[in-house]
Structure 1
Amino acid sequence: MVQVSLFTRPETRDLTAEDAFGPSWQSLGRGGAMRQAAAYAAVRYIADQWAQSAITVTELRGDQREPVATPPILADPSPILSVWDSRVIMTTELKNRGNAYSIVDDSRRYCQWLPDGYVTVDSTNPFKPVYRLLGRPIDLVKRGGNLLHIREMVDAGGVEGMSPIQQFAASFEWSDLARQYGRRYLKNSSMPPAILQAKGSRLDADKLREARDEFVEAAKEGKPVALPGEWDYRKITITPEEAQFLQTIEASATEIAIIYGVPPEEVGGKAGSSRTYSNREMDQALFRIKTLGGVSGRAEAAFPDVLRDGLQVVYDLSRLERPGILEFARTITEQLRNGTLTLSEARRELGRRGLNTTELEQWQQWYATTKSESESLAESIATSITKEAP
């Protein structure tokens, strides 16, 4: 028996295999999905990319939404982990298990993600499912309880999210079999790289060893090989059938990339031929919209349940789309001109403090003497139009 405490809630229960070997003991699928380099790479890529998103929280004031300070449960959700770790765990649980469970304290200060094996769901009645945490009933935060549940894709009438690993177990198992075959082949194969065979009468063992050693020594030094008598040299190569596992691993990586919604090249797969930079750039844009947007949408829909009424959460992925430094500077300049960005906001965007009155005056004087010819012409035209206007 073991005594477990989460947020000062004790529970006594029997030890299980998952306690001894980890919650992934049964839930990672027969094929050992997370042993797959492509599966690990896909989940890591999604989690690391989404963890970079910026949080914006707004509050409805009148008929306008105004930005407010990010609540601590979003800015620093765990008493143990960093906000980065917390986001990575949430995404990893979603993409591996199809469900991310978190326990929230009564004051709605902390949000600690739980191993999948800690939570069980009785969905006999899908309109009133019964959740249990370490064997004890617990209510969802949506019903005033302490359990937050975020799901991947859900069937109609279902309660729990569908795990990609369980849904595509055959694909992961096929990939695992190819990987194991390749490992056994390369580790256990006793096939020599070549055969040196005498064409004449049978030679004794000493002569054969002498000829072999002289041949190997000369070949190792890159010298021409000259052996007495008649010999036949045949280099042994892997047949296409034996090398098929390499193509199978590549094809499996491509299929895993499709399952997780990541560009195949990121996980060792292969995309279509005639790929160009614009194709890869479009892949990245679609990845941010379809895959990362899906994670953001699920989080944005779930977290208002632990916030006070009227607050709305948005995960901004624009920092992943930041262009080159010159294009970024042009974007900032255009926003300053059309009034969608103030000077103070622009400087904060660049990680710099705002200007005081003296510095602002100095900057205006400097700009007046260094502005470009096109900017001077634009100002002259604007001034002329203003004077000619009735």
Structure 2
Amino acid sequence: MSLFTRPAETRDITASDVFGPAWQGLGRGGAMRQAATYAAIRYITDQWAQATVTVTETRGGQREIVDTPLILSKPSPTLSVWDSRVQMVAELKTRGNAFALVDDDRRYCQWIADEHVSIDESNPFAPKYRVAGTPVTLVSQGGNLLHVREQLRAGTVRGISPISAFAASFEWADLARQYGRRWFKQSSMPPAILQAKTAKVGGEVLAEVRDDFVRAAAEGKPVALPGEWDYRKITVTPEEAQFLQTIEASATEIAIIFGVPPEEVGGKAGSSRTYSNREMDQTLFRIKTLGGVSGRAEAAFSDVLPFGQELTYDLSRLERPGLLEYMRSITEQLKNGTLTLAEARRELGRRGIDATEIEQWQAWYATTKSESESDSTSRVEMPEGGTQ
């Protein structure tokens, strides 16, 4: 039976099997109903999917770039490389595990659903994997199953997701939302009080007056009541409306759990925010969160590459500055030899130029300075070592 086909019968796995016992307290959709959770996962997957892959191997004692294997550039026969990356990261962040089947030739890598994989850990030193009931071995052991984990606890090979690790926090946030709905839908407190200034009034009269008042107010008409009545509106104190702040805090908390900027998921980043603060948040997000995803993927896919090859997920395209700063960076790399002219033009998506065009360009360059060149040469070195 092929590992890339699913049999008619599969083993039933409950939500608690996948997410752990804490999931039962939340209910099937309790935690995942949080909009902030979806926003965090989407933000991470879309950002990391933009990474470029570089594969190197040792040649003559130095690391040299080699062609990217098809299992990394076109891993699936049916999905794009973008979709394949999104699948992996989404599985990691929601399930804690990403499982993929790899063919014997190490050409394709197809991600599969978590519920189709079972692990027998009765012997913790030799766990046994099954895919849809079929025994399989890990790629690292010469088999066909690739297993990437989000977080790992001692004593088990199955990873856990941020949701499972912080289930109590999600439960608290969900209860806050439920309280907020009950507050407005069921009206935990009366919005106002009608009080008779005269002697004690019977219950039927009070009910009739109340209904007349509500009916007139709902229709937007002036309220006319017999006798002397005092109307007093009840306002909700900040303490009683704490659930509003609680909902906001839960979104911020979810952002912390997933390692994303709070404002990206509807949370609150704090006051006195400046552009430099937000830029630093994005830098830390790329280092801490996306760097963690890259590290997991690099460690896992090293088992499917030929011996001696290493891969790196480059996220520098997410850090590209403004156009002028970017061109200054290209100019500096041309000066110090980091880039050749041909490489710089390819970086800009432009064709190479022939010898005649190079000669014309050099003649133009000798008499014309670009914006970046003008700034970089504005300080002229003096013979004595000073500047002018």
Q: Once the 2 structures are TM-superposed, how far is the Cα of residue 232 of structure 1 from its aligned partner?
A: 4.1
The residue number in structure 1 matching 2:80 is 82
The residue number in structure 1 matching 2:168 is 170
- Tell whether 2:318 aligns with 1:324: no
Which deviates the most, 80-89 or 139-148?
80-89
In 2: Cα distance, 1:302 partner to 1:211 partner: 65
Alignment of 1:302-381 (within 5 A): 302-371=300-369
In 2: Cα distance, 1:164 partner to 1:208 partner: 51
Q: Which amino acid counterpart does residue 16 of structure 1 have in structure 2?
A: D
Coordinate RMSD, CA, aligned: 3.6
Q: Which amino acid counterpart does residue 4 of structure 2 have in structure 1?
A: F
In 2: Cα distance, 1:368 partner to 1:346 partner: 19
The residue number in structure 2 matching 1:154 is 152
Q: Which amino acid counterpart does residue 29 of structure 1 have in structure 2?
A: W
Where does structure 1 lack aligned partners over 5 or more consecutive residues? 220-224, 385-390
Q: Once the 2 structures are TM-superposed, how far is the Cα of residue 254 of structure 1 from its aligned partner?
A: 2.0
Where 1:305 maps in the other structure, the secondary structure is coil
Q: Once the 2 structures are TM-superposed, how far is the Cα of residue 90 of structure 1 from its aligned partner?
A: 0.8
The residue number in structure 2 matching 1:254 is 252
Which deviates the most, 41-50 or 266-275?
266-275
Determine what percentage of the aligned residue pairs are the same residue: 67
Which deviates the most, 196-205 or 24-33?
196-205
Which deviates the most, 26-35 or 314-323?
26-35
Q: Once the 2 structures are TM-superposed, how far is the Cα of residue 196 of structure 1 from its aligned partner?
A: 6.8
- Tell whether 2:23 aligns with 1:29: yes
Q: Kindly indicate whether the alpha-carbon contact (under 8 Å) linking 2:102 and 2:144 is maintained by their aligned counterparts in 1.
A: yes
Q: Once the 2 structures are TM-superposed, how far is the Cα of residue 197 of structure 1 from its aligned partner?
A: 6.7
Superposition TM-score, scaled by structure 1 size: 0.82
In 1: Cα distance, 2:151 partner to 2:228 partner: 70
Partner deviation per Cα, 1:60-85 (whole Å, 9 max, x = no partner): 22212221221111111112222111
In 1: Cα distance, 2:181 partner to 2:31 partner: 16
Q: Which amino acid counterpart does residue 81 of structure 2 have in structure 1?
A: V
The residue number in structure 2 matching 1:48 is 46
Q: Once the 2 structures are TM-superposed, how far is the Cα of residue 294 of structure 1 from its aligned partner?
A: 0.8
Q: Kindly indicate whether the alpha-carbon contact (under 8 Å) linking 1:195 and 1:236 is maintained by their aligned counterparts in 2.
A: yes
Q: Kindly indicate whether the alpha-carbon contact (under 8 Å) linking 2:11 and 2:133 is maintained by their aligned counterparts in 1.
A: no
The residue number in structure 1 matching 2:125 is 127
1:16 to 12, 19, 41: 12
Aligned residues: 372
Q: Once the 2 structures are TM-superposed, how far is the Cα of residue 182 of structure 1 from its aligned partner?
A: 2.0
Q: Once the 2 structures are TM-superposed, how far is the Cα of residue 171 of structure 1 from its aligned partner?
A: 0.7
Alignment of 1:200-239 (within 5 A): 209=212, 213=216, 217=220, 232-239=230-237
1:63 to 46, 61, 64: 61
Q: Kindly indicate whether the alpha-carbon contact (under 8 Å) linking 1:196 and 1:212 is maintained by their aligned counterparts in 2.
A: no
In 1: Cα distance, 2:278 partner to 2:339 partner: 31
Q: Kindly indicate whether the alpha-carbon contact (under 8 Å) linking 1:11 and 1:136 is maintained by their aligned counterparts in 2.
A: no
Where does structure 2 lack aligned partners over 5 or more consecutive residues? 384-388
